[in-house]
């Protein structure tokens, strides 16, 4: 159960990322029927002011590092990482992790997790400007520059700035359910999932693209995920040869048209599983998979769990009919 949260402050902490952690975990929302977290702002020298990145203000941790011994979750906001980290802080983070606490980092907070040895052998991420440096410092880690956050169970790392919100809400959803995460997100006026799982808050994302000839095609693909698409048809829609289209698509999006379509269809599938009681075959039809079997294959591969388990964990509807395959007749 997630109930005790510690924030670890360092010199040159980034105020926005620190504020994200305060907003998600530090506010008392019990009047709204939501669980209240024990929230501790910790530092190596409690009561001693620290200079954050923003000039003209100071941050003073109320609690010492021994408070991490009681935390279910240890959070690390972004901070300067050019100099060596305080060895007391590094040791405290490692001890908490070894004890079983979950560690969540925001943006460059991943560097402190790396200094504590938490990244080795794991996937992780950070702000796109820092991924090369993180990979260079920790060659045994797999640094993904393209994602908002990476969930490795007891280690969650997030990309820059607002991606910390995504990671925090994901953790709340994972540990306390979609109802709590959705309620916190509504209070914050942000989408509970920026991957499109909550369509009433945000549209499914279009990959950033600078090619005027590709933007209309990407938008059309996203609006017609239920239709079959071929590279030849998409190239013709973009007034390009097949080879030119495939090359430009990869250059602009970092992936192939087939992989892009599959990812967008998975995001739509998540939305349908969360917010509707449609059966599996109906979900498959709506999201562009030709059958429930094909949907299950791709969903398990991309998400890591079966569609029925995803709905059980994250669905906000009481399904009238569970995801069962109709009996053979």
Residue 30 has pLDDT above 90, yes or no: yes
Mean pLDDT for 236-264 is 90
Give bridge partners of residue 75 from the DSSP assignment: 7, 104
The predicted-structure confidence for 52-91, as pLDDT tens digits, reads as follows 999 899 999 999 999 999 999 999 999 999 888 999 999 9
Mean pLDDT for 178-195 is 82
The predicted-structure confidence for 121-142, as pLDDT tens digits, reads as follows 999 999 988 999 999 999 999 9
Question: How high does pLDDT run on average in the chain?
Answer: 88
CB 144 within 8 A of CB 1: no
Q: In the prediction, which pLDDT does 73 show?
A: 98
**Please, which residues have CB within 8 angstroms of residue 197's CB and are 6 or more apart in sequence?**
267, 270, 271, 274, 314
What confidence category does residue 156 fall into, taking pLDDT thresholds of 50, 70 and 90? very high
| The CATH number fitting domain 197-324, selected from 1.10.10.60, 3.90.550.40, 1.10.10.10, 3.40.50.10860 | 1.10.10.60
Residue 203 has pLDDT above 80, yes or no: no
Tokens 């095609």 — which residue? 217
Q: In the prediction, which pLDDT does 318 show?
A: 55
What confidence category does residue 205 fall into, taking pLDDT thresholds of 50, 70 and 90? very low
CB 249 within 8 A of CB 209: no
CB 268 within 8 A of CB 289: no
Q: In the prediction, which pLDDT does 322 show?
A: 44
Helix/strand/coil (H, E, C) string of the chain?
A: CCCEEEEECCCCECHHHHHHHHHHHHCCCHHHCCCCCEEEEECCCCCCCECCCCCCCCECCCECHHHHHHCCEEEECCECCCCCCCHHHHHHHHHHHHHCCEEEEEHHHHHHHHHCCCCCCCEECCCCCCHHHHHHHCCCCEECCCCCEEECCCEEEECCCCHHHHHHHHHHHHHHCHHHHHHHHHHHCCCCCCCCCCCCCCCCCCCCCCCCCCHHHHHHHHHCCCCCCCHHHHHHHCCCCHHHHHHHHHHHHCCCHHHHHHHHHHHHHHHHHHHCCCCHHHHHHHHCCCCHHHHHHHHHHHHCCCHHHHHHHHCCCCCCCCCCCCCCC
Residue 325 has pLDDT above 60, yes or no: no
What confidence category does residue 194 fall into, taking pLDDT thresholds of 50, 70 and 90? low
CB 118 within 8 A of CB 89: no
Domain spans, the chain: 4-188, 197-324
Mean pLDDT for 278-303 is 92
What CATH architecture does domain 4-188 belong to?
Answer: 3-Layer(aba) Sandwich (3.40)
């Amino acid at each position: 159960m997630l109930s005790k949260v510690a924030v670890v402050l360092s010199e040159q902490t980034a105020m926005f990322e620190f504020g994200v952690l305060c907003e998600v975990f530090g506010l008392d929302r019990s009047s709204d029927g939501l669980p209240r977290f024990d929230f501790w702002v910790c530092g190596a020298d409690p009561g001693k002011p620290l200079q954050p990145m923003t000039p003209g203000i100071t941050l003073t941790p109320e609690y010492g590092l021994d408070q991490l011994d009681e935390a279910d979750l240890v959070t690390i906001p972004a901070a300067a990482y050019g100099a060596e980290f305080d060895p007391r802080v590094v040791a405290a983070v490692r001890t908490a992790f070894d004890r079983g606490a979950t560690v969540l980092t925001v943006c460059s907070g991943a560097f402190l997790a790396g200094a504590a040895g938490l990244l080795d052998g794991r996937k992780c991420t950070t702000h796109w400007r820092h991924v090369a440096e993180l990979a260079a410092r920790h060659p045994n880690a797999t640094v993904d520059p393209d994602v908002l956050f990476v969930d490795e169970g007891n280690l969650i790392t997030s990309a820059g700035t607002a991606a910390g919100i995504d990671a925090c809400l994901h953790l709340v959803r994972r540990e306390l359910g979609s109802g709590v995460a959705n309620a916190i997100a509504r209070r914050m006026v942000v989408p509970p999932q920026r991957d499109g799982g909550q369509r009433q808050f945000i549209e499914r994302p279009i990959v950033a693209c600078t090619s005027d000839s590709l933007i209309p095609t990407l938008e059309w693909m996203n609006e017609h995920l239920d239709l079959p698409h071929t590279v030849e048809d998409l190239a013709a829609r973009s007034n390009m040869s097949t080879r030119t289209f495939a090359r430009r698509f990869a250059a602009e999006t970092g992936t192939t048209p087939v992989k892009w379509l599959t990812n967008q269809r998975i995001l739509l599938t998540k939305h349908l599983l969360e917010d509707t009681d449609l059966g599996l075959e109906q979900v498959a039809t709506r999201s562009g998979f030709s059958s429930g079997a094909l949907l299950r294959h791709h969903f398990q591969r991309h998400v890591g769990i079966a569609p029925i388990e995803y709905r059980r964990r994250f669905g906000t509807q009481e399904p009238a009919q569970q995801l069962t395959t109709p009996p053979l007749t």
